[in-house]
Amino acid sequence: MPDTPEVPDIAGQKNRLKITEIFYSLQGEARNSGLPTVFIRLTGCPLRCVYCDTEYAFTGGEWLSLSAIIDQVGQYGTRYVTVTGGEPLAQRNCIPLLEQLCDLGYEVSLETSGAISVAAVDDRVVKVIDVKTPASGEESKNKVDNFSFLTEKDQLKFVISDEDDYRWSKAFIAQHRLSNRCEILFSPVQNQLDAKDLAGWILKDRLDVRFQIQLHKYLWGDRQGV
């Protein structure tokens, strides 16, 4: 793993994005879980979370024009589109892609680490911000200013590795008064924290969060492109 995480150099790449994959699957997380969705996975990420399951998106990829990306999305005939990564906002042209997808009538969600400002993200996009817990190794990258841009339709996701992460997440929510800003999701790190343990802690504390598991992993495992 490189010491300096790779993020695509987009200088001179007007109207293009570096894409790892575009694929059609069931949404495995968040509010639209279970719905057929087209995923656009952008290449590059400035973070290196310990539990990352998409390291293959750190490097490589293919430059595609925004029109070529949108043409591929249209082939699947679904109204749901998720732009993900890596960290999609690490490429500036992610912003106009989101806008164009919304203009075409798609229901668009953005999966982001929250380490980059979401201020310029189109208001029509559902922002799913992954708050970095201590066990991720990237807690210091949380950009709390992003919380001021959240609306009721957006979501905050906490990926929980252990009970310490759970306690930290509860305290973080209270500290930043997040409960009334948007829906909050708690997910266990697969193969590290027993999902039943996390479910039990939430119920015991009567915590007002949505428990979720990664549906796609239970269906297809760690395969790429699902």
Q: Which helix (H) or strand (E) holds 188?
A: strand 183-188
pLDDT band at 219 (very low <50, low <70, confident <90, very high): low
For the stretch 100-148, pLDDT in tens is 999 999 999 999 999 999 999 999 999 999 999 999 999 999 999 999 9
Is 118 part of a structural domain of the chain?
A: yes
Looking up tokens 């953005």, which residue turns up?
110
CB 110 within 8 A of CB 127: yes
Q: How far is CA 18 from CA 48, 59, 182, 218, in A?
A: 19, 10, 31, 29
**pTM of the predicted model, to two decimals?**
0.90
Domain with 160 in it? 16-219
pLDDT band at 5 (very low <50, low <70, confident <90, very high): very low
pLDDT at position 191 over 60: yes
Is 35 part of a structural domain of the chain?
A: yes
For the stretch 143-174, pLDDT in tens is 999 999 999 999 999 999 999 999 999 999 99
The confidence score (pLDDT) of residue 217 equals 63
pLDDT at position 10 over 90: no
- Quick one: what percent of the chain has pLDDT higher than 70? 90
CB 62 within 8 A of CB 18: yes
Is 212 part of a structural domain of the chain?
A: yes
Query: In CATH, what number is assigned to the domain containing residue 81?
Result: 3.20.20.70
Distance separating alpha carbons of residues 226 and 217, to the nearest angstrom: 8
Is 199 part of a structural domain of the chain?
A: yes
Instruction: Provide the domain count of the chain.
Output: 1
Is 138 part of a structural domain of the chain?
A: yes
CB 72 within 8 A of CB 113: no
